[in-house]
Chains A and B, each alone.
Chain A
Amino acid sequence: MSTHENRLCRLIVREHFGPIVEKVANVLIRKGRMPAGMIAHMTQLKIRQVRECLFVLIQHNVAVYAETQEKSRMVTYYEINRTELLHRAMVPKVLGYAKEWFGNDGLKIAQSMVAHGKQTIVDCMADILADQEKRSNRDNRSANVKRAFTNMVREKILIAVRPSDSLTAADKAMADEKRETDKMTLPPTAAELATIRKTLGAQKTALDQRSDIVGLKRTVNEAGYDDFTMEKRRKTDAQELVMIEEVETDVYFKINFERFMIRWRNMHIAELYEDRLNSTAVKIMNGILSLAESRMINCKEERSTAVSTMQVYRMLPEDLNVGDTLELMPGELVIPRPEDKSGKLRFHNECLDKYMEVLEGDLMQLLKKDIGRSGQYVVDLKKAARTLKRKLIQDVVMTRFGAPYVRIMNLLLDKGKLEEKQISRLSMLPVKTVREKLTTLHTFGVLSLQEVPKTTDRTPSRTFYLWEVLLDRAADAMAVKLYQTMANLRQRRFAEKMKRQVLLDKCERTDVKENKDLLNSAERKELDTLNGIMELLEVQELRVAEMVVTLRDY
């Protein structure tokens, strides 16, 4: 929790919720959890204002609260949910992908969700359809939006929020623990406490892994009445009955940033193969990961669930060019190049088999055969995340400092702790320059230094200085620098707007809005410049935010 991270959090709140909420959030971000009265005291705001601000923050899942008994009265503490708040920097990308995956309706739903924090399907549809005037149009749209909403819920892009989600996680855990210990007659021993915690943790993960989705209910419809052709159908007995999934109307939903992260992570993993192999390999890897995606819960899992090759082949596009992009050894294929249709399919599948071998044989070793089950593959997600982080840091070091620095970094990642002289010998660089480069990388946060004194007096001349790269520590150090950059870009954005405030005010006037000709040419030119600058700054911030996601969330 560096000052840069705090500043970024504050600026995000300023942009999304305005200056008064920023004051409240600032206190919570910097000082930690506290009751409303205390916040009022520190912000110099009225208690009513503070309550309203907190209401807004809680509605947008950015703040959480906890109630505790203090002597005779109940005190409510408020706290900022940092992860959720920092995820808000990714909102533009979230909207973009909502459109890509679920079409225009998906975009509308996501926009409405971002604007309202959490809402039911009914509210969301009312919000989207508010501008539709004709009734017939409305009915048509409503069916489409409903379908998109259902799809988003099923794919866990939207998740149900329960009242308990607004409580702080730590307090919930403590309350659960207390309930368990209260059952005992004696205070629990350390071992008992540990077991309680373990079972509670297991319960929680079991809850997370549950396959059915909160907020979706299944109803039986008569055949023929089939609104949603995409829905899962199940024939029951002789009667033509169709099971359809419907979103419950009284459940509130919010955007599940975690699911977006998982999908983006998967895309990044697949893209690793673009440079190493080719685009066909990327497509196959994407297929494997998207099959495994529905069972993923968060980005910190060890490995994906097993996927069979047949599943993969079935979901890949028919026109995927596999045969021509393999450099085969003479006589490697059993089946000759086909003429008829069934032969074509067999040839296609054999080539895909070869591709799976290539992917498995790749030296990153991310795709592995599942032990004990033939034809099943798993992806080592932990290793993949590490590879992504390493690549990102390597690219930053490369562009900022140059190739010799990358050499030293990789050397240390490979060998562990090394001394200056050994580094010089193995990297084939003169000691003089190595020394300089080591210090640069050390101040940049990529290297760590370990001193090993030979004697008890710890004289520098009789001390080994061992350098090493700790990837997680390097990632943290870099994330802090990136937070600073993000905050800078955001602040500059505000400053650029502020500089042209007079012009912007004029644009907001009703007469100017109706008639653009009221702006003179200089003003119009200035407006174009401003738009260009805004775009550049926003896009750049988003790109840096993506880097942070790789370092922090994967």
Chain B
Amino acid sequence: MAASKVVEDLFYKECLNAKANGLTTSDFTILHPECDATELAMSLNVLLVKGLIEVFQVRGELIYKAVSMEEAGKAGSLQGEEQVVYSTIRASGNEGIWTKHLKSKTNLHEAVIKRCLRALEQKALVKAIKSVKHPTRKLYMLMELTPSVEVTGGPWFTDQELDVEFVEHLTNTCYKYITLKSFPRDASSVFTVAHKAYPSATSVHKYIMDKRISQVDLTVDDITMLLDVLVYDGKVERFIAQVDEDWGDEGDLDNDSDWVYKAVTRDKKAESAWQDCPCGYCPVADFCTESGPVNPSGCTYYAKWLEF
């Protein structure tokens, strides 16, 4: 019995050394020819029961991989189906796994899976999260992991929903910063072509981070997204900063930070002549005809508009 304990420890150690590649029994016997085959088989069984190793089948060969002591401690207390479910969830990493997929992977009955999940949740081993991509799906992942960006949607999402106010606030701040840098102080002046100090995404990012405007950690890519939105709003324009021609050939700085941003106008309110009369907002314009029930001669919106 003592001998098998030795073999057990030895095998576990070798498995740990082999790391992700795993270990086969033949590998082990080459490394330790002194071990007896029956003893090895016995110790493998013990290890499997303890949950210290996992077994995989690759091209007809059985490969053993070590499981760390802590995890084995958690999983070790689990039995049968629970353990299967637990390890499947663990395999999904920080992406999480949907219950439907869990079912197809484990080949267990739905009721069984439900029971196992409830048990695992009670033991605080797994947690349920919601994905931004599929808001109706319930995903499971290990308790200690933080969900990936794919699942949470990045810094713009709180509780799986786009935080519109937060986005709005930040874009406005970016816009103010860019406007400040786009025009000279004097309201009637303009910068010449030689002016080069228009802000890039990197400098806007620096400004936002320095001023601690956002509680959330933002990357330059996140800021670029915001600036693109400003471009679509028609508030700022994006162009590639002109590199001095003398330097153009030497310094080939072809990266994203070459894009700089400039506010289109100082401050401008959109106005349209059409909206100055009731027809511009009329909700029943489609029914309005020359002599129908809705007609301009007796229109009440007009009556209000033409009051003196």
| A327-B186, A394-B234, A430-B161 known; A543+B193 contact, CB < 8 A | no
Number of A-B contacts (CB under 8 A): 150
Chain A contacts for B234, CB-based, 8 A: 394, 406, 410
- Is there an interface contact between A363 and B237, defined as CB atoms closer than 8 Å? yes
Whole-angstrom CA separation of A278 from B288 in the bound complex:
42
B276 within 8 A of A: yes
Whole-angstrom CA separation of A354 from B226 in the bound complex:
33
Chain A contacts for B123, CB-based, 8 A: none
Within 8 A of A (CB), among B170-205: 184, 186, 188-195
- Is there an interface contact between A485 and B277, defined as CB atoms closer than 8 Å? yes
- Whole-angstrom distance from the CB of B280 to the nearest CB of chain A? 7
Whole-angstrom CA separation of A400 from B279 in the bound complex:
11
Chain A contacts for B280, CB-based, 8 A: 396, 399-400, 485
Interface bits A515-539 vs B (CB < 8 Å: 1, else 0)? 0000000000000010011001100
Whole-angstrom CA separation of A174 from B308 in the bound complex:
56
Whole-angstrom CA separation of A540 from B156 in the bound complex:
44
Within 8 A of B (CB), among A208-224: none
Interface bits A130-158 vs B (CB < 8 Å: 1, else 0)? 00000000000000000000000000000
Whole-angstrom CA separation of A544 from B273 in the bound complex:
6
- Is there an interface contact between B188 and A407, defined as CB atoms closer than 8 Å? no
A40 within 8 A of B: no
A361 within 8 A of B: yes
Interface bits A477-516 vs B (CB < 8 Å: 1, else 0)? 0000110110111011011100000000000000000000
- Is there an interface contact between B195 and A491, defined as CB atoms closer than 8 Å? no
- Is there an interface contact between A396 and B308, defined as CB atoms closer than 8 Å? no
Chain B contacts for A315, CB-based, 8 A: none
Which one, B188, B191, B232, B296, contacts A495 given CB within 8 A?
B296
A182 within 8 A of B: no
Chain B contacts for A484, CB-based, 8 A: 279, 285, 288
Stretch of B2-10, B90-98, B258-266 lying at the A interface: B258-266
B247 within 8 A of A: no
- Whole-angstrom distance from the CB of B88 to the nearest CB of chain A? 29
Within 8 A of A (CB), among B202-227: 225-226
B164 within 8 A of A: yes
Chain B contacts for A246, CB-based, 8 A: none
Which one, B161, B277, B285, contacts A540 given CB within 8 A?
B277
Whole-angstrom CA separation of A427 from B164 in the bound complex:
11
| A275-B265, A279-B188, A358-B192 known; A489+B277 contact, CB < 8 A | yes
In the complex formed, the residue of A with least CB distance to B168 is A428
Chain B contacts for A328, CB-based, 8 A: 192, 194
- Whole-angstrom distance from the CB of A111 to the nearest CB of chain B? 25
B62 within 8 A of A: no
Secondary structure dominating the interface of A: helix
| A276-B264, A407-B232 known; A546+B273 contact, CB < 8 A | yes
Within 8 A of A (CB), among B249-294: 262, 264-266, 268, 270-277, 279-281, 285, 288, 290
- Is there an interface contact between A410 and B308, defined as CB atoms closer than 8 Å? no
Which one, B229, B276, B285, contacts A427 given CB within 8 A?
B229
- Whole-angstrom distance from the CB of B40 to the nearest CB of chain A? 55
A66 within 8 A of B: no
B16 within 8 A of A: no
- Is there an interface contact between B272 and A532, defined as CB atoms closer than 8 Å? no
- Is there an interface contact between B268 and A275, defined as CB atoms closer than 8 Å? yes
- Is there an interface contact between B190 and A281, defined as CB atoms closer than 8 Å? yes
- Is there an interface contact between A532 and B308, defined as CB atoms closer than 8 Å? yes
Chain A contacts for B297, CB-based, 8 A: 491-492, 494-495
Of B193, B232, B297, chain A has the most CB atoms within 10 Å of the CB of: B232
Whole-angstrom CA separation of A281 from B231 in the bound complex:
24
- Is there an interface contact between A332 and B192, defined as CB atoms closer than 8 Å? yes
- Is there an interface contact between A354 and B272, defined as CB atoms closer than 8 Å? no
Which one, A488, A496, A532, A536, contacts B288 given CB within 8 A?
A488
| A275-B266, A533-B308 known; A414+B232 contact, CB < 8 A | yes
Within 8 A of B (CB), among A295-335: 324-329, 332
- Is there an interface contact between B274 and A278, defined as CB atoms closer than 8 Å? no
Whole-angstrom CA separation of A546 from B276 in the bound complex:
14
- Whole-angstrom distance from the CB of A387 to the nearest CB of chain B? 12
A392 within 8 A of B: yes
Whole-angstrom CA separation of A396 from B264 in the bound complex:
18
A411 within 8 A of B: yes
In the complex formed, the residue of A with least CB distance to B192 is A354
A547 within 8 A of B: yes
Chain A contacts for B31, CB-based, 8 A: none
- Is there an interface contact between B276 and A543, defined as CB atoms closer than 8 Å? yes
Chain A contacts for B156, CB-based, 8 A: 428
Chain B contacts for A399, CB-based, 8 A: 270-272, 275, 280
- Is there an interface contact between B233 and A400, defined as CB atoms closer than 8 Å? no
In the complex formed, the residue of B with least CB distance to A277 is B190
- Whole-angstrom distance from the CB of B303 to the nearest CB of chain A? 10
A75 within 8 A of B: no
Interface bits B157-174 vs A (CB < 8 Å: 1, else 0)? 000011010010000000
B56 within 8 A of A: no
Which one, B192, B239, B266, contacts A329 given CB within 8 A?
B192
Whole-angstrom CA separation of A492 from B191 in the bound complex:
49
Of B192, B239, B290, B306, chain A has the most CB atoms within 10 Å of the CB of: B192
Whole-angstrom CA separation of A18 from B226 in the bound complex:
58
- Is there an interface contact between A533 and B275, defined as CB atoms closer than 8 Å? no
- Whole-angstrom distance from the CB of A30 to the nearest CB of chain B? 13
Chain B contacts for A280, CB-based, 8 A: 188
Which one, B161, B190, B195, B262, contacts A325 given CB within 8 A?
B190
- Is there an interface contact between A329 and B194, defined as CB atoms closer than 8 Å? yes
- Is there an interface contact between B265 and A276, defined as CB atoms closer than 8 Å? yes
Chain A contacts for B308, CB-based, 8 A: 529, 532-533
- Is there an interface contact between A544 and B274, defined as CB atoms closer than 8 Å? yes
- Is there an interface contact between B285 and A492, defined as CB atoms closer than 8 Å? no
Interface bits A406-433 vs B (CB < 8 Å: 1, else 0)? 1110110010000000000011111000
- Whole-angstrom distance from the CB of A426 to the nearest CB of chain B? 7
B143 within 8 A of A: no
In the complex formed, the residue of A with least CB distance to B268 is A275
- Is there an interface contact between A327 and B190, defined as CB atoms closer than 8 Å? yes
Chain A contacts for B186, CB-based, 8 A: 325, 327
10 contacts between A and B (CB under 8 A): A275-B268, A324-B189, A394-B270, A396-B274, A411-B232, A427-B229, A428-B226, A484-B285, A495-B296, A546-B273
> Which 6 pairs of residues, A with B, have the shortest CB-CB distance?
A327-B184, A543-B273, A398-B270, A488-B296, A495-B297, A485-B279
A residues apposed to B, CB below 8 Å? 7, 275-281, 324-329, 332, 354, 357-358, 361, 363, 392, 394-396, 398-400, 403, 406-408, 410-411, 414, 426-430, 481-482, 484-485, 487-489, 491-492, 494-496, 529, 532-533, 536-537, 540, 543-544, 546-547
Not counting A278-B190, A488-B299, a sample of 6 additional A-B residue pairs whose C-beta atoms are within 8 angstroms of each other reads A395-B272, A428-B167, A496-B306, A536-B306, A546-B273, A547-B272
